[in-house]
């Protein structure tokens, strides 16, 4: 996501008071989009939103690749920078500093790691390494450790390349951010497409004969591993120079993206912000938060402050022929916090059933039974999942209660919806569940 952050700062170059803004660690994009073009080399350039040359030409922003800030003198506002091309060290002054260091893919420390080829997928280089291995070694079988978004999307891509795919997930379900009943649809989809789904299973190590040792006692022979078990924020520099870290491991920021040093801002995967509904600490390493945080930081630096309102953790992914999307609090989270809640569900067609191509869509919405405040939602199905989860996100941010979804005048034409949209029906059902 790093490549997407700088353009939010375009207006700062026009602000004489911020003429010495610096950005830490400009490297190629950290992106999940890599998986979508694993088998198509010619498309890889499309993942880059810009080049150093285009930034200079179009926005008058200097981008220094292969340069790393290795120290920050906060009292004197000086940076110590290493040029990795020449190994030279030099200093730069700053007025305001924006940290966007991103995150590392997490790889567990297991016995035998390195005996067989192992990969992560976090950036373009990772994708190139995976493609090079597949092209040069013609593997037939792989294991993916982790059943989250990246793991499942990569399972689809590897299957399309003709590989025998095993997904190892230590929990009872994939996609732990969704409810178990919704995850069942994904289990069926994965297994129906030939993926070997091993739930309640973790990788314990690799034997010298290149066999995986699983927690179930089984042994599995594969050609390579992909670790997709999450990311860790890159906070070593921030911690070194005394910036405060939070309970999620990220750099603590306020509503303007400032750290505990008012002249140092931080955005993206490395920071801790807060939950929109709960106001509790939250870290969301996704693209939308990074873009929004960049705008908030830029506006504050430019003297036009806009307040950051928090995050719901809205996400979406494609799993073979299904789309899965979620926002807000899951049923598990609500139970852990002992919230009083109810759940309204509906399954229907993505558009008018008589029009060709209608697909099943399943919706679950959790809400406060007293006033209808929406706590969270999940949708799994075919076409139209994205637009409906976005409507629910809008309702949460706008304070629209669940039963008022019935009143939304959604657009209707047989190829796109029904006279009563699925979300309208959710609203009608919820009305009868509100405590009067």
Residues 147, 218, single domain; the answer is yes
- Are 298 and 311 within 8 A, CB to CB? no
Residues 96, 242, single domain; the answer is yes
pLDDT of the residue at 15 = 39
Band of pLDDT at residue 302, cut at 50, 70 and 90: very high
Residue 9 has pLDDT above 50, yes or no: no
What is the distance between the alpha carbons of residues 45 and 52, in angstroms, rounded to a whole number? 14
Residue 307 has pLDDT above 50, yes or no: yes
Condensed to tens digits (0 to 9), the pLDDT of residues 121-176 reads 998 899 999 999 999 999 999 999 999 999 999 999 999 999 999 999 999 999 99
Cα–Cα separations (whole angstroms), residue 237 to 25, 257, 258: 11, 17, 16
Residues 223, 155, single domain; the answer is yes
Mean predicted confidence (pLDDT) in 375-396: 97
Residue 127 lies in a domain: yes
pLDDT of the residue at 12 = 33
Condensed to tens digits (0 to 9), the pLDDT of residues 229-239 reads 999 999 999 99
CA atoms within 13 A on the CB side of 217: 0
Residue 248 lies in a domain: yes
pLDDT of the residue at 46 = 67
Residue 395 lies in a domain: yes
Domain end among 172, 198, 229: 229
pLDDT more than 90, % of the chain = 86
Residues 343, 388, single domain; the answer is yes
Domain end among 178, 202, 229: 229
Condensed to tens digits (0 to 9), the pLDDT of residues 283-299 reads 999 999 999 999 999 99
DSSP structural state of residue 199: T
- Are 109 and 118 within 8 A, CB to CB? no
- Beta partners for 318? 323
Residues 297, 330, single domain; the answer is no
Band of pLDDT at residue 368, cut at 50, 70 and 90: very high
Residue 1 has pLDDT above 80, yes or no: no
pLDDT of the residue at 123 = 87
Cα–Cα separations (whole angstroms), residue 81 to 11, 63, 68, 371: 25, 14, 5, 54
Supply the range of the domain harboring residue 280: 2-104+233-301
Residues 327, 375, single domain; the answer is yes
- Are 267 and 252 within 8 A, CB to CB? no
Mean predicted confidence (pLDDT) in 194-210: 95
Residues 75, 180, single domain; the answer is no
What is the distance between the alpha carbons of residues 145 and 378, in angstroms, rounded to a whole number? 24
Residue 190 lies in a domain: yes
Residue 313 lies in a domain: no
Domain end among 229, 249, 272: 229
CATH number, domain at 189? Answer: 3.50.50.60
Residue 436 lies in a domain: no
Residues 207, 346, single domain; the answer is no
Mean predicted confidence (pLDDT) in 363-390: 97
Residue 53 lies in a domain: yes
What is the distance between the alpha carbons of residues 234 and 30, in angstroms, rounded to a whole number? 12
Choose among 178, 166, 168, 145: nearest CA to 324: 178
Mean predicted confidence (pLDDT) in 349-367: 96
pLDDT of the residue at 10 = 33
pLDDT of the residue at 38 = 58
Residue 311 lies in a domain: no
165 burial type by CB count under 10 A (0-12 exposed, 13-18 middle, 19+ buried): buried
- Are 179 and 133 within 8 A, CB to CB? no
pLDDT of the residue at 17 = 39
Residue 19 has pLDDT above 80, yes or no: no
Residue 2 has pLDDT above 50, yes or no: no
370 burial type by CB count under 10 A (0-12 exposed, 13-18 middle, 19+ buried): exposed
Dihedral sign for Cα atoms in the order 211, 213, 219, 223: negative
How many domains, in total, are found in the chain? Answer: 3
Count the neighbouring beta carbons within 10 Å of the beta carbon of residue 238: 26
The residue behind tokens 């990969």 is: 119
Residues 222, 241, single domain; the answer is no
Tell me what the pLDDT averaged over the chain comes to.
Answer: 90
Condensed to tens digits (0 to 9), the pLDDT of residues 20-71 reads 555 544 333 344 455 554 554 445 666 677 888 998 999 999 999 999 999 9
pLDDT of the residue at 311 = 97
What is the pTM (predicted TM-score) of this model? 0.88
């Amino acid at each position: 996501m790093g490549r997407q952050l700088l353009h939010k700062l375009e207006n700062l170059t026009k602000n004489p008071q911020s003429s010495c803004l610096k950005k830490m660690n400009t490297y190629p994009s950290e992106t999940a989009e890599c998986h979508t073009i694993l088998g198509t080399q010619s498309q890889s350039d499309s993942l880059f939103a810009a080049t150093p040359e285009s930034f200079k030409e179009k926005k008058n922003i200097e981008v220094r690749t292969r340069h790393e800030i290795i120290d920050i003198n906060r009292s004197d506002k000086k940076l110590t920078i290493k040029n990795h091309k020449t190994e030279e060290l030099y200093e730069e002054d700053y007025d305001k500093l924006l940290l966007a260091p991103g995150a590392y893919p997490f790889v567990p420390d297991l016995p035998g790691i390195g005996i067989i080829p192992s990969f992560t997928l976090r950036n373009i280089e990772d994708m190139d390494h995976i493609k090079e291995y597949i092209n040069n070694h013609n593997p037939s079988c792989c294991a993916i450790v982790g059943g989250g978004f990246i793991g499942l999307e990569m399972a689809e891509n590897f299957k399309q390349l003709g590989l025998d795919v095993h997904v190892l997930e230590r929990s009872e379900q994939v996609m732990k951010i969704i409810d178990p009943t919704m995850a069942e649809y994904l289990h069926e989809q994965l297994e129906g497409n030939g993926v070997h789904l091993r739930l309640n299973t973790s990788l314990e190590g690799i034997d010298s004969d290149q066999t995986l040792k699983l927690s179930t006692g089984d042994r599995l022979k594969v050609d390579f591993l992909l670790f997709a078990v999450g990311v860790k924020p890159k906070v070593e520099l921030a911690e070194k120079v005394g910036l405060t870290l939070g309970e999620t491991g990220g750099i603590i920021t306020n509503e303007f993206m400032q750290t505990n040093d008012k002249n140092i801002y931080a955005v993206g995967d490395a920071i801790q912000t807060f939950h929109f509904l709960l106001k509790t600490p939250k870290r969301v390493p996704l693209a939308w938060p990074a873009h929004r945080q960049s705008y908030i930081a830029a506006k504050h630096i430019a003297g036009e402050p806009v307040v950051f309102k928090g995050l719901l953790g809205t996400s979406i992914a494609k799993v073979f022929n299904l789309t899965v999307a979620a926002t807000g609090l899951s049923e598990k989270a609500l139970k852990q916090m002992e919230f009083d809640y109810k759940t309204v569900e509906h399954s229907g067609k993505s558009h008018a059933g008589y029009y060709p191509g209608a697909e099943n869509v399943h919706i679950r919405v959790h809400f406060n039974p007293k006033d209808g405040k929406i706590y969270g939602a999940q949708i799994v199905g075919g076409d139209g999942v994205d637009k409906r989860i976005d409507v629910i996100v809008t309702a949460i941010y706008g304070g629209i209660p669940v039963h008022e979804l019935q009143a939304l005048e959604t657009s209707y034409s047989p190829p796109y919806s029904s006279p009563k949209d699925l979300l309208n029906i959710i609203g009608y059902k919820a009305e009868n569940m509100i405590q009067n």
